[in-house]
Structure 1
């Protein structure tokens, strides 16, 4: 992922109003991010813990989405729909996001199950033990990374309305 500044990140959001865009708090820790190991960047709003923000590179440009966590907890232990991590090292919650443009202003949203702290990039890069003799652990990791990128790209395109 390209290294991004706070102003670039803030201007990338497509499903928020101008007022909401100006209120987005970008964590200062982004300056220290290892951008080469991130497939998207995500964070939670410290003042509104139910709000989450994700920014991904779509067609070579940053695109941001505001997400809202459902207040109701899930009944079972769900699997993240982006990283599909089966070891579940973290919580997975239901997020909803307004669609961009006219559809979003009409109240249309899309929901998805995601890692609560947006740990997907770390989860897919973990080297798991081999499933069987001769199993290529590095190739499996590369497939998980590509799958994460495809899931993120598809979700962003769907919310922008160009899927």
Structure 2
């Protein structure tokens, strides 16, 4: 992913108003992020524990989405798999995140959900740069490049549902 500025990020959101995009918390460490290892930028809002954000490149443009997730926690023995990168995590390491649909459907209250790594570090898990705590990645016959492409396709499919 290419390096992004705060303005790039704020202008990218497809499922919130310009005012909401202007007020949301942007990561302070943009200059320090491993952009070459990211397929999308994902972060949690430190001021709103039930909110997170994802910005990705799509069709030569940026698409940003706001996500919400429940505050309920699973037991430590519960394991879940991320729908994007297929990494498994114990407990609350994967969360059902919902996003308001874009346009009129979103203003009418329609949303779409997906199970995602709660820390939004899918790109780093796929590349082996981060290991989930007590979680695992399956041994796969796919190359890392194919796994990265699958993660990007899975995120793109979720965005398609948001925009439909």
On whether the aligned pair clears a TM of 0.5, the verdict is yes
Q: Which residue of 2 aligns with 1:69?
A: 69
The separation in 2 between residues aligned to 1:7 and 1:31, in whole angstroms, is 14
Shift of 1:72: 2.7
Contact 2:68 2:99 in 1 (8 A): yes
Shift of 1:129: 9.9
Paired residues for 1:87-126 under 5 Å: 88=89, 91-126=93-128
Gaps of 5+ in 1: none
Contact 1:74 1:94 in 2 (8 A): no
Contact 1:93 1:114 in 2 (8 A): yes
Could you report, residue by residue, the CA deviation over 1:116-143 in whole angstroms, capped at 9, with x for unpaired residues?
Answer: 1101001111189995xxx87xx53222
Q: Which residue of 2 aligns with 1:155?
A: 158
TM-score by length of 1: 0.86
Relative to its length, the structure with more helix (as a share) is 1
Q: Which residue of 2 aligns with 1:141?
A: 144
Q: Which residue of 1 aligns with 2:27?
A: 27
- Change in Cα spacing, 1:110 to 1:34, as seen in structure 2 (3 Å) is same
SS of residue matched to 1:157: helix
Q: 1:83 aligns with which of 82, 85, 89?
A: 85
Contact 2:87 2:137 in 1 (8 A): no
Give every structure 1 segment of 4 or more consecutive aligned residues whose post-TM-superposition deviation is greater than 2 Å.
Answer: 71-76, 127-131
Shift of 1:85: 1.2
Q: Which residue of 1 aligns with 2:38?
A: 38
TM-score by length of 2: 0.85
Contact 1:74 1:93 in 2 (8 A): no
- Change in Cα spacing, 1:108 to 1:129, as seen in structure 2 (3 Å) is closer
Shift of 1:17: 1.6
